[in-house]
């Protein structure tokens, strides 16, 4: 899953959200240097990633892209699924997406010191361009994919993936809804499990 889904799946605990959000930047056992709530978020993030990569519905979505995008197909589906979460946000959260994203950016600013350096580097752009809110539109997803393609030195061709999103929109959305019901349940259970261990 991409940023928005990871934040949403963290529940209501602020520091768990931050840990989940920044987890990709924390390698191996380095998570242990953070406080228990941030650790919880990092552990949850890793569990969600493993669950996602092995889920049959996610694999089905990825397979639709695999011939053209090869090992980048899972990354693209992560981004597509964030689009469907943002586009259907009212089905999952009572707080409007614009308000939710502003609250999260404020939370990041308040906890700026704990963020890894690479997160600090992209944070101003994330806030200025409101990446989380932009996921709700195809244009927003196109912008994300353009950026990802540049980071792969134009090798991935990910900037073309909105073609498949548009062509197979209903199929991807249906798969997202099936998958997201499962990952919500998994995340809730995993968070309870992690909390009982701490």
In angstroms, the CA 126 to CA 119 distance is 10
In this prediction the pTM is 0.94
Model confidence at 2: pLDDT above 90: no
Q: How do residues 65-91 score in pLDDT, each as one tens digit?
A: 999 999 999 999 999 999 999 999 999
Length of the chain: 198
Q: How do residues 121-156 score in pLDDT, each as one tens digit?
A: 999 999 999 999 999 999 999 999 998 889 888 888
Q: How do residues 17-41 score in pLDDT, each as one tens digit?
A: 999 999 999 999 999 999 999 999 9
Asked whether 157 and 7 are in contact (CB, 8 A), the reply is no
Reported in sequence order, the residue ranges of 31-150 that DSSP labels E, i.e. its strands, are: none
Residue 65: exposure state from Cβ atoms within 10 A (0-12, 13-18, ≥19):
buried
Asked whether 65 and 73 are in contact (CB, 8 A), the reply is yes
């Amino acid at each position: 899953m991409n940023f928005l889904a990871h934040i949403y799946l963290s529940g209501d605990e602020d520091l768990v959200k931050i840990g989940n959000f920044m987890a990709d930047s924390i390698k191996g056992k380095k998570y242990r240097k953070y406080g228990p709530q941030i650790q919880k978020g990092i552990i949850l993030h890793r569990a969600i990633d493993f669950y996602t990569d092995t889920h049959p519905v996610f694999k089905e979505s990825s397979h639709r892209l695999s011939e053209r995008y090869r090992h980048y197909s899972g990354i693209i589906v992560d981004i597509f699924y964030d689009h469907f979460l943002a586009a259907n946000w009212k089905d999952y959260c009572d707080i409007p997406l614009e308000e939710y994203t502003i609250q999260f950016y404020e939370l990041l600013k308040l906890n700026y010191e704990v963020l890894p350096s690479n997160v600090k580097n992209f944070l101003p752009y994330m806030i200025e361009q409101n990446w989380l809110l932009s996921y709700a539109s195809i244009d927003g997803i196109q912008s994300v994919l353009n950026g990802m393609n540049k980071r792969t030195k134009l090798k991935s061709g990910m900037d073309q993936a909105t073609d498949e999103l548009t062509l197979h929109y209903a199929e991807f959305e249906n798969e997202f809804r099936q998958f997201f019901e499962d990952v919500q349940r998994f995340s809730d259970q995993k968070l309870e499990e992690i909390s009982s261990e701490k």
